[in-house]
Structure 1
């Protein structure tokens, strides 16, 4: 891998050096009438023959400029700067040497306002070539939501009963946080997302068919949760305070600070979230003709601290170095009380036993990520990015499970079975990558390499509580260490064939080496699983502009979804007294082929048709453990395939009324034959939708109505319909620096769902209701400089890199 990185750097530098041969430069300085330097003026060099633009650059803080890579010929210079009249030089000839001019003098524009204030309102949804962007700040009703709730509102995205993120009714999408893949999955990922508040999130990007530049992981693509970063000149920031009031109150607050000058951009933020969330579940199960009717009242308590600090140093107009550190500390305590009525099905005496359980699951999580970045970019389109990342995630969880059995219809005495589970987790992630782009034959060629290394150390300690003492259960205690190393290289080419046709082709290769090592007290035949495989992932897209109002895009990508470390551990985990889960060390990666045809009309109406087929899709099954208990396990089916139809409309009905509507329909088939005659051939036809209406009233008042709906759908289980409607109002004041938002979520109290299933001798009917109806209040105040200097924004390209998904 080191050799590959070295080769890439040498090739990149050679390309940069080659571009300098037989090319020349012009130098100069820009001043005003008082002989003072004019910083960051725009310098544009035009060919004298046809006035076409040859090269452009930005003057430095001392007004100096150097425009290179110019061929011999006749040129003139145009200079523009904020507060000054445009300047045009006489025509000059560049022959066989560099030219240094005397300082150019620009005249002040007396019509210029004393202050230029740029005000831009982002749309709620932006449909771009490779992704859909949900701008969180553009929605009043997103106030106070956590990241998991925001995903539920995002176009084409669902969150199921187990808090898994789905696209088109299927798991497999990869979650990125601020451009970097999250190491968590399952309940750990859900906990992290619930600890992130909307006040700290700028946008959610949904990329269903990423190009070869992005990691191939995630068979349905990538969802990137992009955190806020201020881009304004000077010292500025914002303060946000919020409260949510449902069954119990919840609070959040954040502060964002930024200082930016000619050479340095320093930024940082801090966020705090605290509260308790309530839910209720009814779980009816029939196993071996015995009915288990469980009522669960749960509560999720969470306190989290999030912080980020970073620095960008602009060496000159072409070179930038930077680093950032972000971390999260959270304390969770989930748990609740349940009562399970146990009895024979259709019996005259239905409740032969009653199980009362009280569960407490305190958990402390810590997450720290460090990134170092170097960026080179010149005016010819050559760009080199090098990123090095290091991240750690630690979790210390304990589960207390006291259980009491009572027998109301017999003389049998009650008894207790109490358990304690301790599950520490340590994850370390290291990666380094390099990406280079250059112009080639009227297009742009990109290529790069990446090395990532992940180590996950998971301990599962089980204890029986006997006479108030914890006694380790050696039959169920173990340590599982999973390591995974991925070597990747890619090439990607974009070109405009003519005014109507654009083409993109890419190829990515990834070699994966993984090792799962199990250490347990009892002998286990599956103590080591060693796997190595090489995969190639092609991708491509072709765009056609029919007219100014009609655009077509067809894209394709092959993706992979690797099993999570929890699902590979073959040992058992006790969810509660009657339910277990266990991993499957023989889980295979999922491989998906995705096609999508998109039509865009006037930039407002977007319609797309998609097809996908996935080999070895992993699904969660609920299987019999013994005569009275069940367990969950992930298994590979043979394949799943489906079609989708998506329509999005974002338009202004009037000057004061804006509407956004997204409707997604899809059909899926799930096919697989497992042992013991268990077979699945399930089909579904389903849809989901979300919509928002925004009414802009006088005196900076805004009203918003929004909602989302998921129809019933089927994978292995039959999932019930879900949906909510929200209403909110916003008022801006104090010269638009302060914003007050008030919203009422789940107006009609429809936030509920569930599923039922019947296979392998286990019948399940589950319904749940969460604390979805809340009054949410948020106050935001922006302070400091509000100016955006266009010259500085053009000079610095770090924002473009930070707003892209960087696969590492």
Structure 2
């Protein structure tokens, strides 16, 4: 890291490199279409990365600043995947029909660069103007080689071999223009701004059959997906004090979205029309704070917001772990609209209690469902729930137990209700209660060493639309000491020392029951 500053400009830069290795192990037991499947999916990976960030600010007098910021990086990751599925009839699960082994290898290269040009005006009396021009370029390359080898029941005789490879590059460009203005008005502060963003996503999905070791492109499965999104937004908000004990704020944001997803097939008979989205949305918000006494504060706030799907989950390509197990995106995903209301209480400016209610329309979620073509296959996809309703309570408290011992406690509990009807038996009617307890303890130890113990416990709950998970917990330890007048910080940490962080649970949706669990190098 380098930094230089004088009266005219300030310049800085930093860079870093890294490498490492990891693993991710998952198991699934599934029932679908009269069959049972016992699946093991283990992944080992190694990676290397580099990143950089540099910027310069020019001071054009006391009120004006122009800045330029550049950042980026590269990441290379190699994965080795072991996938094994045992197939048997559901009425006689001990009589194995066949075994599928798909030992794959994957190479992933990612690079990104972001560029920001900023102008800021500040008269030091409450009036500010901020203008940003941003551009981000994201380039992803991915190649996977996957042999699918079927064996007999005792895995001694090879049966059918199906070899595929997948070449799936993706380019994403994001352009953004933002202007924010703020000034004093009627003993309060008014803010207003506009934003324009454009996203262009170009994705290629090339599938190759390799029956004799030579790749031959499968034009029925290969395609191209183009996504173009433009968002025009504007907002205004106002905040002021109402007397000595009340604070009020209100705002309104409008967004006009124009988006198109175009899945282009390599064969004319497979062509489909583009998916078009064009809508105007309004998002009001308001808040009121009452300082009852110096030690007691009440606050209420409400609002409406939009959450758009990530661009990668709009991509309809099949990310295949084996011939019978894959993940795919959904180009028909709609953004989710969240309406929320919160009531908060603060004691002594330290202890917080919050009651929250939210109802989300078109909640974006992941679902596990059977394949429509192959009765043996299942896949993970993204879809919209009709609604998700959450009622939650949270408390937090920092506590000094002794002069050398400080603690922080946080607890939360919520009730979730997911509802959807996709037709043909695809119903979602799931209710779940979840609670989480987190605590962190820091200690002043001899020789200027600081110690830390932190951990959490999470009760059962629901993830996504229908996946009901079991409880899990984790415990972390750390030691820290500073040297060279606190300019050098040395830290030793051990996370999840009992290796209990992970997930276990089940999904029962649209004729596919699946129980699974996963662990990683936590």
Give the TM-score of the pair, scaled to structure 2: 0.95
Q: What does 1:254-333 correspond to in 2, within 5 Å?
A: 256-333=1-78
Of residues 598, 606, 616 in structure 1, which corresponds to 2:344? 598
Question: Matched residues in 1 for 2:98 and 2:413: separation?
Answer: 45
Report the more deviating stretch, 323-332 or 706-715: 706-715
Q: Deviations over 1:76-126 (max 9, x none)?
A: xxxxxxxxxxxxxxxxxxxxxxxxxxxxxxxxxxxxxxxxxxxxxxxxxxx
Describe the shift of the 1:362–1:413 C-alpha distance in structure 2 as closer, same or farther (beyond 3 A).
closer
Task: Write the distance in 2 (CA, Å) between the matches of 1:426 and 1:680.
Answer: 35
Aligned partners of 1:348, 1:669: CA distance in 2, in Å?
34
Name 1:466's counterpart in structure 2.
Answer: 211
Say whether residues 1:565 and 2:334 are aligned partners. Answer: no
Change (3 A) 1:388 1:411: closer
Show CA shifts across 1:111-166 (max 9, x none): xxxxxxxxxxxxxxxxxxxxxxxxxxxxxxxxxxxxxxxxxxxxxxxxxxxxxxxx
Q: Separation in 1 of the partners of 2:505 and 2:517?
A: 7
Give the drift of 1:585: 3.3
Determine the structure 2 residue equivalent to 1:119.
none
* Matching residue within 330, 333, 336 for 1:584: 330
Structure 1 pair 283/267, CA: closer, same or farther in 2 (3 Å)? same
Of residues 399, 412, 416, the one that matches 1:664 is 412
Match of 1:170 in 2: none
Which has the larger Rg? 1
Moved more, 575-584 or 663-672: 575-584
CA–CA distance in structure 2, aligned partners of residues 726 and 413 of structure 1: 46
Find the residue that maps to 1:316 and give its secondary structure. Answer: coil
Match of residue 252 from structure 1: none
Residue by residue over 1:565-603, the C-alpha shift from the partner in whole angstroms, topping out at 9 and shown as x without a partner, is: 344344544342212334433322211101111111112
In structure 2, the partner of 1:712 is 460
Are residues 326 and 411 of structure 1, via their aligned partners in 2, closer, same or farther at CA, if it must alter by over 3 Å? Answer: closer
Q: Of residues 588, 592, 614 in structure 1, which corresponds to 2:360?
A: 614
Partner of residue 397 from structure 2, selected from 649, 654, 659:
649
Query: Within the alignment, does 1:727 sit opposite 2:473 as a pair?
Result: no
Please give the alpha-carbon distance, in whole angstroms, between the structure 1 residues aligned to 2:518 and 2:179. 47
User: 1:735 Cα shift?
Assistant: 2.3
Question: Partners of 2:403 and 2:4 in 1: how far apart?
Answer: 36
Question: Which residue of structure 2 lines up, in the alignment, with residue 679 of structure 1?
Answer: 427
1:539 paired to 2:293: no
Contact between 2:264 and 2:272, CA under 8 Å: does it hold in 1? no
Give the number of the structure whose residues are more often helix, by fraction.
1
Identify the match of residue 743 of structure 1 among 473, 476, 493: 493
- Provide the C-alpha distance between the structure 2 equivalents of 1:582 and 1:336, rounded to a whole number of angstroms: 18
Partner of 2:299: 553
Paired with 2:333 and 2:321, the residues of 1 have a C-alpha distance of 21
Task: Identify the match of residue 244 of structure 2 among 499, 519, 527.
Answer: 499
Change (3 A) 1:698 1:411: closer
SS in 2 for 1:379: coil
Deviation of 1:376 (Å): 0.7
Of 762, 774, 779, the residue aligned with 2:512 is: 762
Partner residue in 2 for 1:389: 134
| Equivalent-residue separation in structure 1 for 2:476 and 2:334 (angstroms) | 41
Q: 1:574 to 1:546 in 2, by over 3 A?
A: same
Deviation at 1:419, TM superposition (A): 0.8
- CA shift in 2, pair 1:571/1:272, >3 Å: closer
SS at match of 1:563: coil
| Rounded Cα–Cα distance in structure 2 between residues aligned with 1:749 and 1:497 | 52
Q: 1:694 to 1:428 in 2, by over 3 A?
A: same
* Cα distance in structure 1, aligned partners of 2:316 and 2:160: 31
Structure 2 residue matching 1:466: 3-state secondary structure:
coil
Q: Which residue of 1 aligns with 2:388?
A: 640
Q: The residue matched to 2:169 in structure 1 has which SS?
A: strand
Range 507-516 or range 632-641, more displaced:
632-641
Q: Of the candidates 147, 162, 170, which is equivalent to residue 402 of structure 1? A: 147
2:117 to 366, 372, 379: 372
Indicate conservation of the 8 Å contact 1:352/1:409, yes or no: no
SS at match of 1:475: coil
| Cross-structure match for 2:437 | 689
SS at match of 1:617: strand
Assess, with a 3 A threshold, how the Cα gap between structure 1 residues 337 and 412 changes in structure 2: closer, same or farther: closer
* Correspondences of 1:149-188 after superposition (within 5 Å): none
Identify the range of structure 1 (369-378 vs 716-725) with the bigger mean alpha-carbon deviation. Answer: 716-725
Give the 3-state SS of the residue equivalent to 1:347 in structure 2.
coil
CA RMSD after TM alignment = 1.8
5+ long unaligned stretches in structure 2: none
Give the Cα–Cα distance (whole angstroms) in 1 for the partners of residues 517 and 226 of structure 2: 36
Aligned partners of 1:296 and 1:724: how far apart in 2? 23
Residues 434-457 of structure 1: per-residue CA shift (max 9 Å, x gap): 111110010011111111111000
In the alignment, the residues of structure 2 paired with residue 483 and residue 454 of structure 1 have an alpha-carbon distance, to the nearest angstrom, of: 6
Q: TM-score, normalised by structure 1?
A: 0.62
Matches within 5 A, 1:247-258: 256-258=1-3
Q: Aligned equivalents of 2:402 and 2:336: distance in 1?
A: 47
Residue 261 to residue 348, structure 1, CA distance change in 2 (3 Å): closer
**Within 2, Cα distance between the matches of 1:634 and 1:297?**
23
Secondary structure of the corresponding residue to residue 16 of structure 2: strand
- Asked if structure 2 preserves the Cα contact closer than 8 Å seen for 1:604 and 1:651, the reply is no
1:416 aligns with 2:161: yes
**What is the CA–CA distance in structure 2 between the aligned matches of 1:384 and 1:470, rounded to whole Å?**
57
Alignment of 1:475-494 (within 5 A): 475-494=220-239
User: Residues 549 and 601 of structure 1 are in contact (CA less than 8 Å); yes or no, is this contact kept in structure 2?
Assistant: yes
Structure 1 distance, partners of 2:409, 2:155, is: 59
1:383 deviates by 0.5
Distance 1:731 1:449 in 2: 47
Q: Secondary structure at the match of 2:215?
A: strand
Tell me, what secondary structure is at the counterpart of 2:138? strand
Indicate conservation of the 8 Å contact 1:285/1:291, yes or no.
Answer: yes
Matches for 1:113-262 after TM superposition, within 5 Å: 256-262=1-7
Seen in structure 2, the aligned counterparts of structure 1 residues 525 and 570 have a Cα distance that, compared at 3 Å, is farther
Matched residues in 2 for 1:723 and 1:349: separation?
Answer: 34
Greater shift, 763-772 or 424-433, is seen at 763-772
What is the alpha-carbon distance in structure 1 between the residues aligned to residue 158 and residue 406 of structure 2?
Answer: 66
